Amino acid sequence: MRRFLLLAALMLLAGVVAWWGMRATQGPPPAPSAPEVIAPAPPAPRQVAVYFAREMPDGRFVLTPVQRPLANPAAPATAALQALVDGPTSAEERDGLLPTLPGGTRVLGVRVEQSEGDGSVAIANLSRELAENFNGGSGWEEIVLYSIANTLDALAGVDAVRLQVEGAPVESIGGHMAANELLRYNDRIVVRGQDR
């Protein structure tokens, strides 16, 4: 009789073990309504960095970031781009900073899209004056292009920037640099205030 009891207990144990085993390999079934991963909302930024040009003693141009308070934390990309259009303050200009965008350039819109393989792409739509009033060489074109790209790429939640003029991609804004490709943060031409 004791052998039967033992056998019965063993069967029960086996059943429970099997049940736990299956549970362990399968994991708990996901609740149908709740999403699997809830990404925490990033803290709203209070400032944005805006990249203006500066001429170095050796004559080359670089980009230098300056901070701007963010009035509307819900739309940092638009605010940052608008600050770029507005240009440096007169104090900053006395310190050697130069505006980068050609005169008359307006922000038509900025939106951030999720792109396959490229992450979050900020699509910056600027007015035709960006290309029409551009009056520089290839070096200055790089500065103009990356003042936009770096300003947006530096924002949390932006991985790359795509440029549009009047709502459409353009081959180039000045005839030297490719403007129809994804632009990523260019550290090579950045000199921060304290680096000088």
Partner 1 sequence: MGKAVRSAFRCALVIGFLAVWMAPRPAAAATPRVVIGDRTAPCEPPPVLIDGEVHVPLAFRYGSLPIKVDSDGEVVIVRGPGDLEARVPLVLHEGHAYYAIARASAGVQLNARWVERLQKVFIAPRISSVRPDAGDRVLTLRVTTAYPVTYRVEKLADPPRLLVEVSGAQLYTDATTVPVARAGVRQVRAAQYSFDPSVVRIVLDLEGAARYRALSAETTTQIRLRIGVPADPSDADLDRLLEAPDAEAVLADVAGVGVEYDDQGNTRVVVRATAPVRGSVVRLQSPPRLAVDIPNTMLRAEPPLITPGTPFVAGVRLGQFQDTVTRVVVDLSNEVEYALSEGADPGTLILNLRAVLGLVPRRGLPGLTVMLDPGHGGSQPGTTGVSGRKEKELNLDVAKRVYALLESAGARPEMTRGSDDTVGLYARPGMANAKGVHVFISIHANSTGQRVGRARGIETYYCHAHSLPLARAVHRQLVSELKAPDRKVIRRPGLVVTRESKMPSILVEIGYMNHPEEDRLLGTPEYRQRVARAIFNGIAVYCGESVGQEDLESREEESVPNEALAGAGASGEEGQ
Which chain residues interact with partner 1 by CB under 8 A? Answer: 1, 4-5, 7-9, 11-12, 14-16, 18-19, 22-23, 25-26, 28-30, 32, 36, 55, 59-61, 98, 100, 102, 116-117, 134-140, 142-145, 171-172, 174-178
In the numeric block, which tokens belong to residue 67?
């901070």
CB 190 within 8 A of CB 144: no
Kindly tell me which of 5 and 168 has the beta carbon lying closer to partner 1: 5
Residue 51 C-beta: closest distance to partner 1, Å: 15
Cα–Cα distance between 159 and 185 in angstroms, integer? 8
Cα–Cα distance between 157 and 112 in angstroms, integer? 9
Q: At what angle do helices 76-86 and 138-153 cross, to 10 degrees?
A: 150
Paired sense of beta strands 47-55 and 97-98, if any: antiparallel
Kindly tell me which of 48 and 50 has the beta carbon lying closer to partner 1: 50
Residue 47 C-beta: closest distance to partner 1, Å: 27
Kindly tell me which of 54 and 68 has the beta carbon lying closer to partner 1: 54
Kindly tell me which of 73 and 137 has the beta carbon lying closer to partner 1: 137
Residue 108 C-beta: closest distance to partner 1, Å: 21
Residue 9 C-beta: closest distance to partner 1, Å: 7
DSSP 6-35: HHHHHHHHHHHHHHHHHHHHH-PPPPSSS-
In the numeric block, which tokens belong to residue 52?
């203006």
